[in-house]
């Protein structure tokens, strides 16, 4: 019993063309009987050069020793390049804080276009709106309808559950009376100025703002309810030689700051809260922090 063979649309179209050609020859006689290439081209509806190319491909495949290889291969579709993000963990922290405070800061919902404008000013984001959409989706954000049928940018349920777990754990440590310390990194431009300022109406010109923001200075520190941790401040000039000012704060530098400046100045059984930067999430480093803070 023969099995039914399913043909693709292109194969069905060629089959119909061959049938119509055979029917035409049956009614009107065969043309150019000895010219097989021409007759094939007429039957399938392609040029003779296409037939020549297909026959050449078949000949090359038949001389190959690889019997598992298909005689004919369909041309592969060009894969769409994945949009690359120029945001690292440092910038992602700014993005999340911008979304969380957008409504209170600007008194409006954070749409993609408005969010892109703010991120361009704050972190020099140079991607398009579609790139920003992909970044937000991969970071756990989604668009959700609100009461007035507009859409707002909210975090997905699994991200919210992780935050609930974090808050419960934090409450547990507070109930135990353990000292909680928060760590973070930030930056400031050496020539940073506001876009507007007050000045007398007459007689004094406006403050001249430099086109360049100057050198970017990175600040790393930690603190809790009693203020900043003594001797834990780390301030350094950004390294522009690699094109990324975050390169200085890698795993080695972070580990050095942690072990020489932060941990020696913390009380016993202190709890250290870190962000999700790649260098602060290393499992070996977290074990070291756990062992030292519990001594």
Position 241 confidence tier, pLDDT thresholds 50, 70, 90: very low
Arithmetic mean of pLDDT, 79-107: 76
Domain extent listing, the chain:
9-62, 89-155, 177-293
User: Are 89-155 and 177-293 equal in CATH topology?
Assistant: no
What's the CA dihedral at 222, 223, 227, 228 to 10 degrees?
A: -10
pLDDT digits (tens, 9 = 90+) for 34-76: 888 888 888 888 888 888 887 887 777 777 666 555 666 666 6
pLDDT on residue 265: 92
What's the CA dihedral at 131, 135, 141, 142 to 10 degrees?
A: 30
For residues 280 and 90, the model is more confident at: 90
Q: Is the pLDDT of residue 291 over 60?
A: no
pLDDT on residue 68: 54
Residue range 89-155 in CATH 2.30.29: no
Half-sphere exposure of 247 toward its Cβ, with a 13 Å CA cutoff? 8
For residues 3 and 220, the model is more confident at: 220
pLDDT on residue 53: 84
pLDDT on residue 223: 93
Spatial separation of the C-alpha atoms in residues 182 and 90, rounded to whole Å = 15
pLDDT on residue 242: 44
For residues 82 and 217, the model is more confident at: 217
pLDDT digits (tens, 9 = 90+) for 128-137: 888 998 888 8
Residue 151: CB atoms within 10 Å:
12
- Residue 291 vs residues 21, 69, 194, 263, 274: alpha-carbon distances, Å: 83, 58, 45, 11, 16
pLDDT on residue 34: 80
Kindly report the average pLDDT of the chain as a whole number.
76
Arithmetic mean of pLDDT, 256-283: 81
Arithmetic mean of pLDDT, 110-139: 88
CATH architecture of 177-293: 2-Layer Sandwich (3.30)
Both structure tokens of 274: 């870190």
Q: Is the pLDDT of residue 175 over 90?
A: yes
């Amino acid at each position: 019993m023969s099995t039914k063979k399913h043909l693709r649309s292109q194969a069905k179209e060629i089959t119909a063309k061959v049938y119509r050609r055979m029917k035409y020859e049956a009614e009107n006689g065969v043309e150019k009987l000895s010219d097989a290439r021409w007759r094939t081209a007429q039957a399938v509806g392609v040029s003779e050069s296409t037939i020549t190319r297909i026959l050449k491909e078949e000949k090359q495949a038949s001389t190959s020793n690889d019997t598992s290889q298909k005689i004919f291969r369909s041309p592969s579709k060009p894969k769409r390049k994945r949009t690359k993000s120029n945001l690292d963990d440092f910038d992602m922290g700014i993005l999340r804080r911008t979304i969380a405070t957008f409504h209170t800061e600007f008194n409006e919902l954070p749409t993609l276009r408005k969010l892109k404008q703010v991120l361009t000013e704050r972190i020099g984001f140079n991607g398009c709106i579609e790139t920003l959409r992909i970044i937000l989706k991969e970071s756990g954000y989604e668009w959700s309808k609100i009461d007035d049928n507009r859409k707002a940018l909210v975090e997905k349920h699994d991200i919210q559950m992780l935050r609930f777990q974090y808050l419960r754990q934090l409450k547990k440590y507070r109930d135990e009376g353990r000292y909680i310390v928060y760590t973070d990194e930030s930056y400031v431009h050496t020539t940073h100025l506001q876009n507007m300022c007050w000045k007398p109406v007459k007689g004094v010109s406006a403050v001249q703002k430099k086109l360049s923001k100057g050198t970017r200075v990175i600040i790393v520190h930690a603190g809790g309810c009693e203020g900043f941790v003594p001797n834990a401040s780390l301030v350094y000039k950004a390294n522009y030689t690699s094109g990324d000012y975050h390169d200085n704060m890698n795993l080695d530098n972070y580990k050095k700051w942690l072990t020489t400046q932060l941990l020696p100045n913390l009380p016993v059984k202190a709890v250290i809260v870190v962000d999700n930067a790649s260098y602060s999430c290393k499992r070996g480093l977290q074990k070291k922090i756990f062992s030292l803070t519990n001594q």
